[in-house]
Amino acid sequence: MVDRNIGGGGDTTAPILTAHDLGKSFGALAALSEVNLDVAAGEAIGIVGPNGAGKSTLLACLSGAYKPTFGTIWFDGQEVTATDAPGMCRAGLVRTHQVPKPFSGLSTFENVYIGASFGENISNDEAYDRTVDALRLCDMLHLANRRAETLGLLDRKRLEVARAVATKPKVILLDEVGGGLTDAEADALVDIIRNIRARGTSIIWIEHIVHVLLQVAERLICMDAGKIIADGIPDAVMSDAAVVEAYMGHGVE
Ligand code: ADP
Ligand code: MG
């Protein structure tokens, strides 16, 4: 496996995102500990692991929603450990939520427009263009005038992705966007995420359905009990003894 440690040397391109010895505790519970991660620009990484493994907590720390208890985060050449979620979004890192939370009473277009113009010093024209671009990328232009609360599950997931895309991220963190979808719906979502990736955006995608994840991710990380227990080529990770043990031990899948 490639040496992804900080200061490991030999890398010609600096990672876009680095977490060093990252930890997050809630009282006595270490939800996340000793996490080390380097993400290359344009890389697509899948994250799996049993419920409660700390996957969402990791994304929350990386996106500025949670302040880490330990460790350091760098993004795009800056130390961002104390940067909040709006600051991370402005810097170019955004995440979607496990449970989509569209603004009710607003249209699909308005929901994405808020994402496009959020915290940014951009003109209305630019925000409009970003909104149309994100809706088109997510196959939602025909739903632009629909009220967000009337959308079905796949379209609410697409809206969550479109709102994130409209911020023009360099890195997008996806938290179980495929959950609860049929196979055909999951395929539709995979196409969208591939198109986002084709623009050079790095993807970190948490998903339980591994075969869906691996249509996009070329690198797989498995977490258990707050730690990364395997990180590398998907085949190697899935056959790793610690990964098998983590799943068997928790009785998942
Ligand atoms: P995953 O996404 O892998 O299912 P989470 O990151 O959501 O796991 O949770 C990891 C652990 O941290 C769980 O034990 C969960 O109950 C706990 N946890 C997550 N968020 C909070 C919070 N805000 N307050 C207290 N405990 C939390
Ligand atoms: Mg989660």
- In percent, how much of the chain has pLDDT > 70? 93
Between these two residues, 119 and 105, which has the higher pLDDT value? 105
State the residue range of the domain holding 146.
100-168
Give the pLDDT confidence of 41-50 residue by residue, as tens digits.
Answer: 999 999 999 9
- Protein residue whose Cα sits closest to atom 5 of ligand 1: 54
Least confident of 41-50, 71-80, 166-175, 177-186: 177-186
Q: What is the Å distance from ligand 1's center to 31 Cα?
A: 6
Q: What is the Å distance from ligand 1's center to 57 Cα?
A: 6
The pTM of the whole model exceeds 0.85: yes
Q: Could you give the dihedral angle defined by the CA atoms of residues 92, 98, 103 and 104, in that order, rounded to the nearest 10 degrees?
A: 160
Cα separation, 140 vs 86, in Å, equals 25
The domain boundary residue, chosen from 136, 168, 200: 168
Same domain, 15 and 76: yes
Cα separation, 251 vs 75, in Å, equals 36
Same domain, 80 and 109: no
Q: What is the Å distance from ligand 1's center to 97 Cα?
A: 14
Helix (H, G, I), strand (E, B) or coil at 178: coil
Same domain, 207 and 88: yes
Asked if the model's pLDDT at residue 208 lies above 60, the reply is yes
Number of C-alpha atoms within 13 angstroms, CB side, residue 102? 28
Determine the pLDDT at residue 126: 93
In DSSP notation, 90-153 reads HHTEEE--SS----TTSBHHHHHHHHHHTT----HHHHHHHHHHHHHHTT-GGGTTSBGGG--H
- Beta carbons of 219 and 44 less than 8 angstroms apart: yes
Same domain, 222 and 251: yes
Same domain, 37 and 71: yes
The domain boundary residue, chosen from 168, 193, 209: 168
Same domain, 87 and 1: yes
List 90's β-bridge partners, or say none. Answer: none
Question: What phi-psi label fits residue 64: left (phi over 0), alpha (psi between -120 and 50 degrees) or beta?
Answer: left
Q: What is the Å distance from ligand 1's center to 185 Cα?
A: 27
Same domain, 18 and 107: no
- Protein residue whose Cα sits closest to atom 27 of ligand 1: 26
Same domain, 193 and 156: no
Tokens of residue 200, six digits: 């050079």
Determine the pLDDT at residue 69: 98
Residues around the ion ligand 2 (C-beta < 5 A): 55-56
Cα separation, 155 vs 81, in Å, equals 33
Cα separation, 201 vs 48, in Å, equals 20
Between these two residues, 155 and 9, which has the higher pLDDT value? 155
Asked if the model's pLDDT at residue 150 lies above 60, the reply is yes
Asked if the model's pLDDT at residue 239 lies above 60, the reply is yes
Taking the CA atoms of the chain, what radius of gyration do you get in angstroms?
Answer: 18
Determine the pLDDT at residue 233: 96
CATH at residue 38: 3.40.50.300
Same domain, 130 and 199: no
Least confident of 21-30, 42-51, 100-109, 218-227: 100-109
Same domain, 15 and 79: yes
Same domain, 230 and 243: yes
Looking at residues 18-25, what average pLDDT do you find?
98
Asked if the model's pLDDT at residue 253 lies above 60, the reply is no
Number of domains in the chain: 2
Helix (H, G, I), strand (E, B) or coil at 192: helix
Q: Find the residues whose C-beta lies inside 6 A of ligand 1.
A: 26, 29, 31, 49, 51-57
Determine the pLDDT at residue 7: 42
Task: Determine the length of the chain.
Answer: 253
Give the pLDDT confidence of 179-206 residue by residue, as tens digits.
Answer: 889 999 999 999 999 999 999 999 999 9
Q: What is the mean pLDDT of the chain?
A: 91
Same domain, 149 and 214: no
The domain boundary residue, chosen from 128, 143, 168: 168
Give the pLDDT confidence of 114-126 residue by residue, as tens digits.
Answer: 989 876 778 999 9
